[in-house]
Amino acid sequence: MNPKALALCAALVALAGPASAQTPGWTQTGMLTCKLNPSIGFIIVGHQSMECRFVPSMPAPPQLYEGALNTVGIDIGVVGGGALAWGVLAPTAGVPAGALAGNYVGASGDVALGIGVGANVLVGGSNRSFALQPLSVEGSVALNVTLGLSALQLRWVP
């Protein structure tokens, strides 16, 4: 893997920082985990479909979502699947069913040769009232480099 690409990815993740530092007064309301479907990057634009599950911090049933992560920037390679996990931050403690549905934007970085790592820091949802902070790095099986701006679309599956 190109050391410059790896360094650039690490710098992007470091600059993005934890969303909690960027959103004072917000609280973690749960965890969103997504299973990535296989995809192919097309140099300037990438598309990654996924199935997601939100588990609230407060006692409430899990919520299911379908999503698509679109990236504009460098996206070269093939992803055989994987997973993402985000801490969901909001200004209030409770999250009504379906409230995470909507559009999110932010920065993404990923480097993979076999098993890869990456992170996506995103803000959006209902009235741009949620922040998705990477709780763990992306786990994927791929030959891929991604660095750019991303838009995540989440659709609630009732």
> What pTM value is reported for the model?
0.71
Q: What is the pLDDT of residues 74-129, one digit of tens each?
A: 766 666 667 788 899 998 878 889 999 999 998 777 665 555 556 667 888 766 68
Q: What is the pLDDT of residues 19-58, one digit of tens each?
A: 444 445 788 999 999 988 876 666 666 778 899 999 999 8
The three-state DSSP-derived secondary structure of the chain is: CCHHHHHHHHHHHHHHCCHHHHCCCCEEEEEEEEEECCEEEEEEEEEEEEEEEEEECCCCCCEEEEEEEEEEEEEEEEEEEEEEEEEEEECCCCCCCCCCCEEEEEEEEEEEEEEEEEEEEEEECHHHCEEEEEEEEEEEEEEEEEEEEEEEEEEEEC
Amino acid at 8: L
